[in-house]
């Protein structure tokens, strides 16, 4: 009976020894330091939400307040009024943004995976040069390739089309790098066993490589969505028809030609939060995939 009572006490959750008590002094110091750094990194997120809820009396107060004192939905009301007076319905801009972001995620993920797999596992002549060239493109500033992109889109005749939004985003060197480094971790013996069993390259790619590399695929999808969701370059350069422009472009026009003016600054603050929330939600849902990808891609 006493042995049974002892075993029951051992498994009671409140009887378990706290992990904090098991830490030494240095580990506790690191824990406190990481908590402080985490709180510091959360400050921009807190500021975005607080800034969107500030009335005009607090938006331009000096010295500026980090936290809102009298929260108000006035900025969102102003944003709604500005949107209701737009020539093109705001729902059209939102629809375009979702179509562009969804199409970009699908295309970039497929192209990056199809590019990374042969570079990683087929070792064709010059594969190192190809991979080095892809990594080299990370050094180019976006402004350096605007004119070539415009010429390509113009000659292809895809101006004022959804494909004109998506095509400039398809080449994503970061996606190829992450997937290639992740695929490098796959044992060659696994792929050879599949070939011996009669599986073709397409079947190996779809049934073995992609399922195992799902964390990297999810990471590339998140990065692509974040880039395409906030992108205004394609709307500015390639779209002359207002009905083909996206939601970020519409929000960027709220304060155009209003430098040093208080007009629409509240709507701009609300718009910044509206643009940020989808990225935050997606990242929170898939943050585990991002961490797993970085752990297997040589980024320590």
Provide the residue-wise pLDDT of the chain in tens; the chain has 300 residues.
555 555 555 545 544 556 666 777 778 788 888 888 888 888 888 888 888 888 877 777 777 777 888 888 888 888 888 877 778 888 888 899 999 999 999 999 999 999 999 998 887 888 889 888 888 888 887 778 888 888 998 999 889 899 999 998 898 888 898 888 888 888 888 888 888 888 888 888 888 888 888 888 888 888 899 889 888 888 888 988 888 998 888 888 776 655 455 667 778 888 888 888 888 888 787 776 666 655 555 444
- Assigned domain for 10 exists: no
Label residues 177-212 b or e (16+ Cβ within 10 Å = b): bbbbbbbeebeeeebeebeeeebeeeebbeebbbee
CA–CA distance, 175 with 77 (Å, rounded to integer): 39
- Assigned domain for 47 exists: yes
CA–CA distance, 192 with 77 (Å, rounded to integer): 61
Do 222 and 145 lie in one domain? The reply is: yes
- Assigned domain for 281 exists: yes
- pTM of the full structure: 0.77
Smallest CA-to-CA distance from 115 within 26, 178, 72 is with 178
Do 165 and 202 lie in one domain? The reply is: yes
- Assigned domain for 49 exists: yes
Domain end residue (candidates: 72, 94, 109): 72
Domain limits for position 30: 23-72
8-state DSSP, 209 = I
- What is the token pair recorded at 3? 């042995």
Do 174 and 228 lie in one domain? The reply is: yes
Number of domains within the chain: 2
């Amino acid at each position: 009976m006493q042995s049974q009572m002892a075993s029951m006490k051992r498994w009671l959750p409140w009887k378990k020894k706290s992990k904090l008590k098991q830490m030494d002094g240095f580990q506790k110091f690191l824990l406190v330091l990481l908590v402080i750094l985490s709180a510091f990194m959360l400050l921009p997120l807190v500021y975005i939400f607080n800034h969107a809820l500030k009335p005009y009396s607090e938006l331009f107060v000096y010295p500026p307040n980090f936290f809102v004192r009298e929260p108000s939905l006035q900025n969102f009301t102003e944003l709604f009024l500005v949107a209701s007076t737009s020539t093109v319905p705001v729902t059209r801009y939102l629809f375009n943004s979702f179509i562009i972001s969804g199409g970009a995620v699908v295309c970039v993920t497929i192209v990056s995976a199809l590019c990374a797999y042969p570079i990683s596992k087929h070792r064709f002549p010059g594969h190192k040069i190809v991979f080095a060239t892809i990594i080299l493109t990370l050094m180019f500033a976006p402004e350096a390739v605007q004119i070539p992109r415009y010429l390509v889109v113009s000659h292809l005749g895809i101006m004022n089309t959804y494909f004109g939004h998506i095509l400039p985003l398809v080449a994503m060197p970061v996606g190829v790098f992450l997937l290639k480094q992740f695929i490098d971790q796959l044992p060659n013996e696994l792929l050879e066993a599949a070939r011996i069993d009669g599986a073709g390259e397409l079947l190996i790619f779809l049934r073995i490589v992609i399922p195992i590399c799902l964390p990297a695929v999810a990471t590339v999808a998140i990065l692509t969505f974040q880039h395409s969701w906030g992108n205004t370059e394609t709307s500015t350069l390639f779209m002359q028809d207002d009905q083909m422009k996206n939601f970020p472009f519409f929000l960027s026009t709220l304060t155009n030609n209003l430098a040093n003016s208080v007009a629409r600054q509240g709507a701009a603050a609300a718009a910044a939060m509206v643009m940020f929330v989808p990225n935050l939600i997606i990242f929170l849902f898939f943050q585990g995939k991002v961490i797993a990808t970085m752990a297997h891609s040589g980024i320590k």
